[in-house]
Amino acid sequence: MYCILRLIFIIFFVDSIKISHLFQDKNPFTTNKNDTDSSGNPKKKFMLIPSIGYEMNDKPGKFTFILNGWYYKPVDSGFIKIIIKTTLQAALSVLDSSSTSNEEIEQERIEPFFVTDVTDHKIKLKLTDSISDIVSTDKNGRFYKDIIVDSLKGLNIQKQELKYTAFDNDNQQNAYEGIIYLMKNKNRIGCLIISDIDDTIKISEVPFKTKLMVNTFRKPFQAVPGMSQAYRSWESSDQCSIHYVSAMPSQLYYATQTFLNKENFPGGSFHMRHLKLADSDKLNLINSIIDFVKHDASRKHKISVIENILTYASIKQKFVMVGDSGELDPEIYGEIARKYPDRIKMIFIRIVPGGKNNNSRFEIAFRNVRQDKWKTFSDATELPKKLYNDTNSINENGGGDNNIHSVYSNNTNILSTSLFYIIISVLLTLIYF
């Protein structure tokens, strides 16, 4: 049942980006008359995902930059698309009759799922006039490319941010600009933050699946009070770099990035999961969706990403991980802390109403992890304003106490069983055909 609920959540779900990955405040998934070719068909587009650059462990002075993007084509408007969108909007209206429909929000959140991945397409990536490479998109329309440089000299770097340019190899008139966030050099101790998004910094109400759908596709995103200020404080006082690691589909990257900008969260690399919803091979499509919604899929994704970032970072750099009790962050972070005890400085877990918040859960999740290395909190004011003191040890002042909050789950199912099966049956049938 849990997997089916997640499936509903998922299913209910450039011109060019000339200045940055912030899209010049333009939704890269909308299609208007300027986004069509001479035949009236939607133009192919791509967007660049903020990624990481790091100094190589075995080759001091050399840096590796990971360039990451997605090339896609909007689906032509058609009967099936209209029915699915209309069904979704009607379902959201039933689930949330208290608020009015917002066409701009629904377009921003729903349109990204109505695209097809463009495979085996060449993209030119350019750091400088003398440093460039060409990469092809994979079966998911994604491209990942590591570019190694001997030094940072001559690169467009400002405040640990490297800007690069990408071109559609078939049409190099329009340039798209992306950002890579550089980790501190190995001679710097540095501070790195791994942050979840849903219910950690953005109110999603994940334990309540009906509210999760409404918050994701109908309502404006709302920040968890005080979290932006806490992250900004850590960024300024401890020179922390931030890596947003989320199990949500990458189709929601634009909406999430726009939310972070609006709420003044620090910029950082993004690590989300790609969801494929269009494929000529229907069996392969169904299998990919099932793989996405498997109960342990988000756990495997987060652990893999965090371990990669740990590998990229200098062994001198300590990690602070911030998550919530709504899903599996305590268990994931506990596993990482046991495997890399000397690399994890502190873990903060936000208590989410409706989550499994009993003491025994946290005791099991953080088994064999020093108690002074993890804390739970209900309010951002319980977090320290500064993570490190002058001796580079964790600052215990201003944070919450070591007590485990005991707030038991009160998860109620608002969606009726009959309506649930009507919606899932209609959507699965439409998407299959």
* 392-414 tens-digit pLDDT: 445 544 444 444 443 333 333 33
Span 233-283, pLDDT tens digits:
998 887 788 999 998 888 899 999 999 999 999 999 999 998 877 666 677
Asked if 308 and 178 sit in the same domain, the reply is no
The answer as to whether 405 is a domain residue is no
Asked if 197 and 289 sit in the same domain, the reply is yes
The answer as to whether 162 is a domain residue is yes
Asked if 307 and 348 sit in the same domain, the reply is yes
Asked if 306 and 359 sit in the same domain, the reply is yes
**What's the CATH code of the domain at 365?**
3.40.50.1000
The answer, yes or no, to whether residue 195 has pLDDT greater than 50, is yes
When mean pLDDT is compared across 100-104, 109-113, 251-255, 340-344, the lowest value belongs to 100-104
CA distance 412 to 117: 37
The answer, yes or no, to whether residue 301 has pLDDT greater than 60, is yes
The pLDDT assigned to 410 comes to 39
The pLDDT assigned to 400 comes to 41
CA distance 336 to 113: 32
Asked if 275 and 369 sit in the same domain, the reply is yes
The pLDDT assigned to 367 comes to 95
The answer, yes or no, to whether residue 227 has pLDDT greater than 70, is yes
Asked if 227 and 272 sit in the same domain, the reply is yes
Show the domain range for 264. 186-388+419-432
DSSP letter (8 states) at residue 389: -
Domains held by the chain: number: 2
Span 346-386, pLDDT tens digits:
999 999 998 888 889 999 999 999 999 999 999 999 999 88
Identify the CA nearest to 350 among candidates 376, 319, 387, 369: 376
- What residues contact 307, with CB distance under 8 A and at least 6 apart? 336
Asked if 258 and 337 sit in the same domain, the reply is yes
Between strands 45-48 and 63-74, the pairing is antiparallel
Average pLDDT, the chain: 78
158, 182, 206 — which closes off a domain?
182
CA distance 364 to 362: 5
pTM here is: 0.82
Identify the CA nearest to 121 among candidates 178, 73, 169: 169
- What residues contact 33, with CB distance under 8 A and at least 6 apart? none
What SS3 state is found at 197?
A: coil
147, 166, 182 — which closes off a domain?
182
User: What are the Cα distances from residue 21, in Å, to 46, 68, 196, 317?
Assistant: 11, 11, 20, 27
The answer, yes or no, to whether residue 128 has pLDDT greater than 80, is yes
Asked if 384 and 427 sit in the same domain, the reply is yes
182, 208, 226 — which closes off a domain?
182
Q: Find the helix or strand (DSSP H, E) in which 192 lies.
A: strand 191-195
The answer, yes or no, to whether residue 161 has pLDDT greater than 60, is yes
What SS3 state is found at 162?
A: strand
Asked if 151 and 199 sit in the same domain, the reply is no
The pLDDT assigned to 114 comes to 79
The answer as to whether 258 is a domain residue is yes
CA distance 349 to 321: 8
Asked if 123 and 197 sit in the same domain, the reply is no
